[in-house]
Amino acid sequence: MSDIDSTTVTAPQRILMGPGPSDVDPRVLAALSAPTVGHLDPYFLQVMDELQSMLRQVFRTENELTLAVSGTGSAGMEACVVNLIEPGDRMLIGVNGVFGTRMADVAGRAGAEVTTIERPFGEVFDADEVAAAIEQTQPKVVGLVHAETSTGALQPIEEISKVVHDAGALLLLDTVTSLGGLPVEVDGWQVDAVYSGTQKCLSCPPGLAPVSFSPAALGAMDARKTKVASWYLDMSMVRNYWGGNRAYHHTAPINMNYALHEALRLVLAEGLENRFARHRRNHLALRAGLEALGIHYAVPEVHRLPQLNAVLIPDGVDDAAVRKQLLNEFGLEIGGGLGPMAGKTWRIGLMGAASTNRNVLLLLAGLERCLADQGISVDRGAGVAAANGVYAAQA
């Protein structure tokens, strides 16, 4: 006799305001539950074509090789690295957070001669230091994180891109947390390989990794002398499935592609500029409310991500206890810090469908209660009032 409970398992209702995943629109969940068809069914091939077209719009690119890798954002990172890197190739990577470190690890496993330039968590790189490192190492590929999820820092790209291309190198960019929440200008910035994830500002469940490769990246891939280290992520084969040949490579996650298709439809229906403005507006309201509660940001204002707010935990506050209370009493999830920021910061996400006035005000009210319960003196109602003041001024 089975020990498994035969009753229906029901997931709890949460408001996801951490570093990801984000809240998912009911229309995306409905698409996820649509009937499964075969991976070469004419209907699914149409979904793939439309999905590619919408990804090009969101990435702002004309790149032919733009698709959704079957895997999470980390699979997208690995796909970009292993397709551009052969054993012995030099790769320069900017490390200013957890995900720059992860990119360097992946590149080393692919056989690259990896050089890193490093900044403390929360800081960003400038073009001069990247140029100096390029001159010293002469890399084939330069990898940077556009929106560092572990720190809430936004990396400027345009000037660095010029430096990279003037040196004849390829630029690889992590946009896992930025795509759909901030401008990502793949063609405008001349990004050669870019990857993202579905579970952040696109507000789709985790499981796919949008990627795009420039003509220069395709040229480097076609000139390889060795096979790509990963069979599953080898774009020379995967692109034949997503292209006109429709050559079988692997069974795509059909329903996840349905979900991403619907999520992208919602992004484009809202309009990219409107979506960016919404993320910015809610960030400003949250910032005002947090400052009224005596909570300050971990990243200088000029480099802050509007969709991922990394803030310093006030002295004397129990990090884990606050996050547990928010989850249990308010059904609200925020994230803790990573690496050297663990126990020192909270990461508050305002990504995609989670970026709403309601969520901002609920979080501020919940934080006020949690701080008061820990004996922290706060001006009762000040956080919500400050946020409402921002909303009223923008109405």
Same domain, 222 and 369: no
pLDDT per residue of the chain (395 residues) written in tens, 0 to 9: 456 666 778 899 999 999 999 999 999 999 999 999 999 999 999 999 999 999 999 999 999 999 999 999 999 999 999 999 999 999 999 999 999 999 999 999 999 999 999 999 999 999 999 999 999 999 999 999 999 999 999 999 999 999 999 999 999 999 999 999 999 999 999 999 999 999 999 999 999 999 999 999 999 999 999 999 999 999 999 999 998 888 889 999 999 999 999 999 999 999 999 999 999 999 999 999 999 999 999 999 999 999 999 999 999 999 999 999 999 999 999 999 999 999 999 999 999 999 999 999 999 999 999 999 999 999 999 999 999 999 999 87
| CA–CA gap between residue 130 and residue 124 (Å, rounded) | 11
| CA distance to 5, 109, 156, 161, per residue, from 8 (Å) | 8, 43, 48, 52
Same domain, 356 and 228: no
End-to-end CA distance of the chain: 62
User: Given 226, 247, 269, which residue is the final one in a domain?
Assistant: 269
Is the CB of residue 199 less than 8 Å from the CB of residue 22? yes
CATH code: domain of residue 184: 3.40.640.10
Query: Which residue, 266, 290, 288, 261, is CA-closest to 352?
Result: 266
| CA–CA gap between residue 180 and residue 170 (Å, rounded) | 24
In DSSP notation, 342-355 reads TTTEEEEE--GGG-
Res 2: pLDDT: 57
Same domain, 264 and 328: no
Same domain, 58 and 199: yes
Tokens read off for 274: 């409107």
CA atoms within 13 A on the CB side of 149: 29
User: Given 225, 253, 269, which residue is the final one in a domain?
Assistant: 269
Res 3: pLDDT: 64
Same domain, 212 and 252: yes
- Name the pTM for this structure: 0.95
Q: Which domain, by its residues, includes 239?
A: 26-269
Whether residue 11 is contained in a domain is answered as no
Same domain, 90 and 223: yes
Res 4: pLDDT: 64
In DSSP notation, 93-129 reads EEESSHHHHHHHHHHHHTT-EEEEEE--TT----HHH
| CA–CA gap between residue 379 and residue 294 (Å, rounded) | 9
Whether residue 148 is contained in a domain is answered as yes
Same domain, 56 and 105: yes
Same domain, 265 and 281: no
Q: Which residues pair with 208 in a beta bridge?
A: 70
Whether residue 343 is contained in a domain is answered as yes
Whether residue 1 is contained in a domain is answered as no
Is the CB of residue 228 less than 8 Å from the CB of residue 236? yes
Query: Which residue, 224, 209, 141, 214, is CA-closest to 177?
Result: 209
Whether residue 4 is contained in a domain is answered as no
Res 1: pLDDT: 47
Is the CB of residue 149 less than 8 Å from the CB of residue 177? yes
Same domain, 114 and 201: yes
Q: Name the one residue in this structure whose structure tokens are 């690119």.
A: 61
Q: Name the one residue in this structure whose structure tokens are 């009911």.
A: 26
Query: Which residue, 365, 384, 377, is CA-closest to 316?
Result: 377
How many independent structural domains does the chain possess? 2
Same domain, 189 and 261: yes
CATH code: domain of residue 351: 3.90.1150.10
Whether residue 14 is contained in a domain is answered as no
| CA–CA gap between residue 271 and residue 318 (Å, rounded) | 40
Whether residue 350 is contained in a domain is answered as yes
3-state helix, strand, coil in the chain (%, to 5): 45, 15, 40
Same domain, 131 and 171: yes
Indicate the burial class of 128 (C-beta count within 10 angstroms; 0-12, 13-18, 19 or more): exposed
User: Given 269, 285, 305, which residue is the final one in a domain?
Assistant: 269
Is the CB of residue 40 less than 8 Å from the CB of residue 248? yes
Same domain, 87 and 176: yes
Q: What residues contact residue 361 under an 8 Å CB cut-off, 6+ apart?
A: 289, 384, 387, 388
| CA–CA gap between residue 189 and residue 157 (Å, rounded) | 7
Res 336: pLDDT: 97
Cβ of 103: how many Cβ atoms within 10 Å? 27
Whether residue 348 is contained in a domain is answered as yes
